[in-house]
């Protein structure tokens, strides 16, 4: 048995919090597609470091060209304002042992807060641009803003593409085989869901990869 939906939101899909569907499409609560999560680091206007948890992204390109496409970035976020102004940002992947520190970047998000040090991370200088990086991250992508696009005119979120100018990768991660590489590296946002019959929220969470089989891919 399948549940089938078109573009009309089911009546029992009421908002769990004000403005929920202004920010996140209701279909995402049915699809429950996991996204890798990471911290984007930027500088605020006065030079204070900013860190924000993001997901909803893909990483693509060809040849010497590698891009991050942040598919949904809140226009109201400090991160978007910083990227718009400075046109640079860093993508920092962190392992699950930093979950509590990551959560602090959301709960303590004031404009005057140095969100890297305040969350217990170590700030380090980037290699190729004036951008803060997180030392504890096992994989860092220094990015230059390429373009942005509103998927819906006047939308709350915006899609931002950054060109990766420099990669910094922890030696152990870079040399580990597939069976150990993901034991303690990438984390995924496992979306909350909506029960199609009751419309009740089913909690989501944070997850990681479970290897099924080694293959030559
Ligand atoms: C699991 C998770 C994933 C998130 N993904 C995104 C995202 O993809 N885009 C976004 O704009 N906000 C996302 N957020 C919300 C931001 O982390 C949050 O708004 C943050 O405080 C913005 O910080 P800033 O104002 O310093 O940029 C996510 C939050 C969580 C908990």
Q: What residue spans define the domains of the chain?
A: 20-207
Q: Does residue 217 register a pLDDT over 90?
A: no
Inter-residue long-range contacts of 170-176, CB under 8 Å, 24+ positions, other chains counted: 170/138, 170/139, 172/138, 173/138, 173/139
R_g (Cα) of the chain, nearest Å = 18
177 has pLDDT over 90: yes
* Cα distance between residue 44 and residue 85, in whole Å: 9
How many Å lie between the centroid of ligand 1 and the Cα of residue 50? 12
Question: What's the gap in Å between 95 CA and the centre of ligand 1?
Answer: 17
Tell me what the mean pLDDT of segment 47-65 comes to. Answer: 97
Q: Which residues are registered as beta bridge partners of 149?
A: 159
Ligand 1, residue 73: give the atom nearest the CA: 11
Nearest CA to ligand 1 atom 6: 54
User: In which band, very low, low, confident or very high, does the pLDDT at 107 lie, cut at 50, 70 and 90?
Assistant: very high
The residue whose CA is least distant from atom 17 of ligand 1 is 53
**In this model, does residue 109 exceed pLDDT 90?**
no
What is the C-alpha separation between 72 and 57, in angstroms, rounded? 8
Whether the pLDDT of residue 83 is over 90: the answer is: yes
Examine the pLDDT at 99 and tell me if it is beyond 90: yes
Structure tokens belonging to residue 32? 């429950």
Average pLDDT, the chain: 96
Per the CATH hierarchy, to which homologous superfamily does domain 20-207 belong? Electron Transport, Fmn-binding Protein; Chain A (2.30.110.10)
Q: Which residues line ligand 1 (CB under 6 A)?
A: 37, 50, 52-56, 72-74, 77-79, 106, 109, 189
pLDDT of residue 208: 94
Q: What are phi and psi of 106, to 5 degrees?
A: -90, -45
Quick one: what percent of the chain has pLDDT higher than 90? 97
Q: Is 122 exposed, middle or buried (0-12, 13-18, 19+ CB in 10 A)?
A: exposed
Confidence of residue 85 (pLDDT cuts 50, 70, 90): very high
Can you give the pLDDT at residue 160?
Answer: 98
**What is the pLDDT averaged over residues 112-121?**
94
Residue 82 has pLDDT above 90, yes or no: yes
């Amino acid at each position: 048995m399948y549940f089938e939906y078109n573009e009309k939101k089911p009546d029992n899909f009421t908002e769990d919090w004000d403005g929920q569907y202004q920010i996140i499409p209701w279909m995402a609560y049915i699809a429950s597609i996991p996204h890798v999560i990471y911290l984007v680091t930027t500088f605020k206007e006065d030079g204070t470091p900013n860190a924000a948890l993001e997901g909803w992204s893909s990483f693509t390109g060809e040849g010497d060209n590698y891009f991050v496409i942040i598919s949904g970035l809140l226009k109201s976020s400090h991160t978007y304002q910083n990227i718009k102004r400075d046109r640079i940002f860093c993508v920092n992947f962190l392992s699950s042992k930093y979950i509590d520190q990551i959560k602090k970047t959301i709960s303590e998000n004031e404009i005057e807060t140095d969100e890297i040090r305040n969350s217990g991370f170590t700030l380090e200088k980037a290699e190729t641009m004036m951008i803060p990086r997180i030392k504890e991250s096992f994989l860092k992508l220094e990015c230059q803003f390429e373009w942005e696009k509103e998927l819906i005119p006047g939308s709350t979120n915006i899609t931002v593409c950054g060109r990766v100018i420099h990669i910094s990768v922890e030696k152990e991660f870079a040399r580990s085989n597939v069976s150990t590489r993901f034991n303690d590296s990438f984390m995924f946002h496992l979306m909350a869901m909506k029960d199609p019959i009751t419309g009740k929220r089913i909690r989501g969470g944070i997850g990681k990869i479970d290897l099924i089989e080694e293959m030559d891919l």
